[in-house]
């Protein structure tokens, strides 16, 4: 699984005219699932996200996690993180999981983060979403459960 994390002061997700998620300070996680990802990958990713020390302490060092600061987490599916652009001009999404495999694993990331004590909001799987955010820092982090980068 892959994720792009952005530290935010606020974020929201709209599907058409409907606001489906809204949160204050915390992390926005754009999450993608590969075809061979498992429940173990989802749990690993959730734990990494909520425990990652990307929030400032009193000395302005990134020493606090989402759990430490009591922030919220937005989990939004984004299969395009597996877009392979090495050949040609159109991304190839062959590594991305089929929706029936990906949806439960994206949900599992949110479920595990909640279990760990984090307030979680989510986007709507397979919907055309408008994601708005105010990036705090800016801080943007790439994660991959297979440690490919």
Distances in whole angstroms, Cα of residue 142 to Cα of each of 58, 60, 90: 25, 21, 22
Residues 6+ apart with CB under 8 A from 90: none
Catalytic residue selected from 80, 92, 126, 140: 80
State how far the Cα of 36 lies from the Cα of 90, in Å rounded to an integer.
23
Look up 145 and say whether it is catalytic: no
Residue 79 among the catalytic residues: yes
78 included as an active-site residue: yes
Exposed e or buried b per residue across 104-135, where buried means at least 16 C-beta atoms within 10 angstroms of its C-beta: ebbebbbbbbeebebebbbbeeeeebebebee
Identified catalytic residue from 6, 51, 55, 79: 79
Pairing assessment for the beta strands 72-77 and 26-32 based on DSSP bridges: parallel
SS3 131: strand
Choice among 6, 51, 55, 78 that is catalytic: 78
The residues carrying an active-site annotation are: 78-80
């Amino acid at each position: 699984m892959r994720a792009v994390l952005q530290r935010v002061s606020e974020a929201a997700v709209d599907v058409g005219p409907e606001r489906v998620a809204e949160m204050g300070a915390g992390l926005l996680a754009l999450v993608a699932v590969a075809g061979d990802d498992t429940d173990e990958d989802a749990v690993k990713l959730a734990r990494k996200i909520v425990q990652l020390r990307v929030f400032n302490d009193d000395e302005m060092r990134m020493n606090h996690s989402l759990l430490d600061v009591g922030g919220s987490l937005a989990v939004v599916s984004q299969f395009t993180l597996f877009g392979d652009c090495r050949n040609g001009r159109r991304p190839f999404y062959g590594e991305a999981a089929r929706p029936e495999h990906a949806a439960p694993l994206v949900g599992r990331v949110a479920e595990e983060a909640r279990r760990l004590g984090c307030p979680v909001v989510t986007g709507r799987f397979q919907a055309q979403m408008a994601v708005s955010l105010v990036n705090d820092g800016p801080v943007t982090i790439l994660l991959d459960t297979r440690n490919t980068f």
